């Protein structure tokens, strides 16, 4: 995908701040530190546009990025980060739940899991929950550069089994370091937006 424009639009804490131009939205979900913001920067070819950090819990609001005046990526706060106060966690949960359940513009979710590890309970719960409420999900295994290419299949097999993906469900290996998977993910996005 050729990126002609990519811009940060708003850090939303609730529906009042969501954009009103009706462009389709794609939400990024996954554990804290799995690489959601890094993936977005790679997809948009804009280093540092989405703020990243080696410390989990960097993204705390719904951050909207408009790309090619065609879609919004919505960068989510990560789940499963223990050090965040309970009340804050509940607040995050509500905001995310309301967005996922009610946002008309949401077309699908990109769920990120770390290629090195079996999906966590939270990952499975998130995946199942999206399925239950009928939100299509594209699963991406991040940090592909952290293991040898020869071991990808073995690791993606575990992810497929744990999330109970069907044979024809896409599972894309991605690396924000090398750009692995970027074209494939853009292909999947464009295909789904055309449907
Ligand atoms: P929260 O905002 O806390 O939910 O985290 P996040 O999911 O947005 O993760 P973020 O993109 O901030 O990345 C977390 C850390 O993982 C950073 O140190 C990144 O540099 C690193 N990282 C992300 N993606 C990759 C990748 O593909 N390969 C490698 N080697 N490191 C990555
Ligand atoms: Mg982030």
Structure tokens at 160: 């497929």
Q: Is residue 155 part of a domain?
A: yes
CB 105 within 8 A of CB 78: no
Q: Is 55 helix (H, G, I), strand (E, B) or coil?
A: coil
Ligand 1 lined by 52 (C-beta under 6 Å): yes
CA 60 to ligand 2 centroid distance, Å: 8
Q: Is residue 1 part of a domain?
A: no
Ligand 1 lined by 34 (C-beta under 6 Å): yes
User: Mean pLDDT of all residues in the chain?
Assistant: 91
Average pLDDT of the segment spanning 155-168: 94
Q: Is residue 107 part of a domain?
A: yes
Q: How many domains does the chain have?
A: 1
Q: Is residue 90 part of a domain?
A: yes
Q: What are phi and psi of 64, to 5 degrees?
A: -95, 130
Distance CA 187, CA 90 (A): 35
pLDDT in tens, 36-56: 999 999 999 999 999 888 877
Nearest CA to ligand 1 atom 3: 57
- Tokens 């954009």 belong to which residue? 19
Residue 57 has pLDDT above 80, yes or no: no
Average pLDDT of the segment spanning 46-69: 87
Q: Is residue 150 part of a domain?
A: yes
Distance CA 173, CA 180 (A): 7
pLDDT in tens, 77-124: 887 765 555 655 666 677 888 899 999 999 999 999 999 999 998 899
Q: What is the pTM of this model?
A: 0.94
Average pLDDT of the segment spanning 9-37: 94
Q: Is 77 helix (H, G, I), strand (E, B) or coil?
A: coil
Structure tokens at 66: 């408009």
Q: Is residue 188 part of a domain?
A: yes
Ligand 1 lined by 32 (C-beta under 6 Å): yes
Q: Is residue 136 part of a domain?
A: yes
In the prediction, which pLDDT does 122 show? Answer: 87
Nearest CA to ligand 1 atom 15: 54
Give the atom of ligand 1 at the shortest distance from the alpha carbon of 56. 3
Q: What are phi and psi of 35, to 5 degrees?
A: 115, 25
Nearest CA to ligand 1 atom 29: 143
Distance CA 133, CA 100 (A): 9
**Would the ipTM clear 0.85, i.e. be above it?**
yes
Of the two residues 61 and 42, the one the predictor is more confident about is 42
Q: Is residue 167 part of a domain?
A: yes
Q: What is the CATH number of the domain that holds 87?
A: 3.40.50.300
Q: Which domain covers residue 21, as residue numbers?
A: 6-194
């Amino acid at each position: 995908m050729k990126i002609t424009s990519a811009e940060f639009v708003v850090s939303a804490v609730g529906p009042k701040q969501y954009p009103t131009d009706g462009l389709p939205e794609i939400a990024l979900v996954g554990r804290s530190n799995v690489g959601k913001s890094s993936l977005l920067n790679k997809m948009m070819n804009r280093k540092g546009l989405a703020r990243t950090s080696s410390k989990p819990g960097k993204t705390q609001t719904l951050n909207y990025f408009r790309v090619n005046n065609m879609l919004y990526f919505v960068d989510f706060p990560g789940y499963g980060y223990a050090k965040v106060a309970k009340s804050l966690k509940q607040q995050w949960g509500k905001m995310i739940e309301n967005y996922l359940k009610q946002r008309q513009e949401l077309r699908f979710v990109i769920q990120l899991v770390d290629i090195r590890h079996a999906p966590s309970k939270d990952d499975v719960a998130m995946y199942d929950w999206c399925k239950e409420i009928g939100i299509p999900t594209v699963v991406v295994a991040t940090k592909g550069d952290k293991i040898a290419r020869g071991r990808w299949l073995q690791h993606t097999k575990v992810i497929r089994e744990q999330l109970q993906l069907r044979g024809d469900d896409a599972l894309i290996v991605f690396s924000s370091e090398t750009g692995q998977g970027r074209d494939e993910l853009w292909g999947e996005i464009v295909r789904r937006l055309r449907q």
